[in-house]
Amino acid sequence: MNREKSIIKTSIIGIIGNAFLVAFKIFVGIVSSSISIVTDAINNLTDALSSTITIIGTKLSTKKPDKDHPFGHGRIEYLTSLFIAILVLLAGAVAVVESIEGFFKKDSVSSYTIPSIIIISVAVLVKIALGFFFRIRGKKLNSQALLASGIDALMDSVLSFSTLVVAIICLAVDGAYSWHLESYLGIVIGLFIIKAGIDILRDAISEIIGKRSDPEYNKKLKAMILDFDEVKGVYDLIINNYGPEKLIGSVHIEVRDNITAKELDILEREITNKAYLEFGVILTIGIYASNDSNEKISKMRSEIVKTLQKRHEIVQMHGFYVNEKINMIQFDLVFSFGADNVEEIVKEVKNELKEMFPDYNTNIVIDTDFTD
């Protein structure tokens, strides 16, 4: 079964489970005049709607690339999570408002029964099962929407358990002061729902903006490229996420400057094929030529590295090459994200290198490390 069908099947199971809970909780809440149970039922209704949105989003995200969207429609899955977050936030806000209003309705006292407690207990078990089911499937299918639904369901199980505790207390004291407990619990439930919504919203926005790819993934991909004997260094790795199953990236590899075009072509094809088969990423490869096997140039590089190491703002130097035809020293500098006055630092470095090597000019490219 492919990923799309698996996500849809999982979501349908979620809709059925939540629909069952909505019906029972509304019935029990009305019969017992319970604010918290009705509030919980509303939250389960949003869970069912979330699963419906997940199905729609999954369908849309699998549309084939077109002229206007050549990278496909995979990022619609992240928009799906955004809509789910909005639904969760609205449900939380409604829960808080209704619970606050409950403070002023002293004549509305909850009357729990043994059957209602049994039904709430069943609801707790169902939500725990759905929560773990969504999380397991979400991790396996790399679906942010399913993971969000799993977190929400597990949180619901905790909150439903709290409702169960209050129900038992109210039954034990014959309903005395139950309107206080109901209102307080409703507010707590609402605030927890809002927090869950904010967390889901933050993760969805982070994906849409474009967050750093997984460091462990980056490390393994670089190690794979470095395994090729011809590769002396791997730099400037960029991984763009166009959906859970659509990764497109670029990387620079450092090779000796006397490698032939034929050898380089073979090397690039081998790397790109292996990257796609083992890491699922379509890579474009750029080249840094290295001529520091020359003793003079190797010594120049060592002296420059020592000079650069004195500046804590500089994270890395790469792409080093000395063009002796025009007496030009060339390299890229990666600065820390919090570095200030980068242009001024580059100017100072150029001046220092001019004093060290007066016969040479220096070309420095300011670079960014997108993966480390």
DSSP H stretches of helix in 229-341 = 261-279, 295-308
Distance of alpha carbon 160 from alpha carbon 116, whole angstroms: 12
CATH of the domain at 205: 1.20.1510.10
Domain co-membership, 40 together with 184? yes
- For residue 42, what is the DSSP state? H
Alpha carbon 88 to chain centroid distance? 18
Evaluate whether residue 158 is within a structural domain: yes
CB atoms within 10 A of CB 197: 23
Q: Tell me phi and psi for residue 324, to 5 degrees.
A: -75, -15
Distance of alpha carbon 333 from alpha carbon 342, whole angstroms: 10
> Residue 119 is encoded by which pair of tokens?
């039904």
What is the pLDDT, as a whole number, of residue 173? 65
pLDDT digit string (tens) for 122-149?
Answer: 878 888 888 889 889 988 888 888 887 7
Instruction: Enter the pTM of the model.
Output: 0.71
Asked if residues 64 and 214 have their Cβ atoms less than 8 Å apart, the reply is no
Dihedral sign (CA 5, 132, 159, 90): negative
Distance of alpha carbon 245 from alpha carbon 357, whole angstroms: 49
Residue (of 4, 84, 102, 89) closest to 47 by Cα position: 84
CATH of the domain at 263: 3.30.70.1350
What is the pLDDT, as a whole number, of residue 372? 65
What is the pLDDT, as a whole number, of residue 330? 93
Domain co-membership, 263 together with 199? no
State which residues form the domain around 50.
3-209
Evaluate whether residue 144 is within a structural domain: yes
What is the pLDDT, as a whole number, of residue 147? 82
Domain co-membership, 181 together with 318? no
Q: What does the chain come to in residues?
A: 372
What is the pLDDT, as a whole number, of residue 358? 93
Domain co-membership, 165 together with 267? no
Domain co-membership, 190 together with 274? no
What is the pLDDT, as a whole number, of residue 275? 95
Considering its fold, how many domains does the chain have in total? 2
CB atoms within 10 A of CB 83: 18
Who's near 211: CB < 8 A, 6+ residues apart? none
Domain co-membership, 278 together with 144? no
Domain co-membership, 35 together with 173? yes
Q: Tell me phi and psi for residue 130, to 5 degrees.
A: -65, -40
Evaluate whether residue 129 is within a structural domain: yes
Q: Mean pLDDT for each 10-residue chunk of the chain (372 residues)?
A: 83 87 78 67 74 87 86 86 83 79 61 69 84 88 82 73 73 59 76 85 87 88 95 92 86 91 95 95 92 83 91 89 92 86 90 93 87 68
What is the pLDDT, as a whole number, of residue 57? 87
- For residue 143, what is the DSSP state? -
DSSP H stretches of helix in 75-177 = 76-102, 114-141, 144-172
Domain co-membership, 225 together with 203? no
Alpha carbon of 156 to those of 27, 92, 225, 362: distances in Å? 18, 12, 45, 61
Q: Which of 209, 243, 274 is the last residue of a domain?
A: 209
Evaluate whether residue 372 is within a structural domain: no
Q: Tell me phi and psi for residue 122, to 5 degrees.
A: -60, -40
Q: What is the residue whose two structure tokens read 């936030």?
A: 89
What is the four-CA torsion angle of 74, 79, 80, 84, rounded to 10 degrees?
Answer: 160
Asked if residues 79 and 159 have their Cβ atoms less than 8 Å apart, the reply is no
Any bridge partners for residue 235, and if so which?
Answer: 252
Domain co-membership, 134 together with 229? no
Who's near 60: CB < 8 A, 6+ residues apart? 73, 76
Asked if residues 360 and 328 have their Cβ atoms less than 8 Å apart, the reply is yes
> Residue 43 is encoded by which pair of tokens?
């939250």
Helix orientation angle between 144-172 and 76-102, rounded to the nearest 10 degrees: 20
Domain co-membership, 336 together with 271? yes
What is the pLDDT, as a whole number, of residue 180? 66
Evaluate whether residue 9 is within a structural domain: yes
Any bridge partners for residue 287, and if so which?
Answer: 253
Evaluate whether residue 290 is within a structural domain: yes
Domain co-membership, 224 together with 201? no
What is the pLDDT, as a whole number, of residue 276? 94
Dihedral sign (CA 74, 284, 329, 308): positive
Evaluate whether residue 355 is within a structural domain: yes
- For residue 370, what is the DSSP state? S
Domain co-membership, 51 together with 179? yes
What is the pLDDT, as a whole number, of residue 182? 67
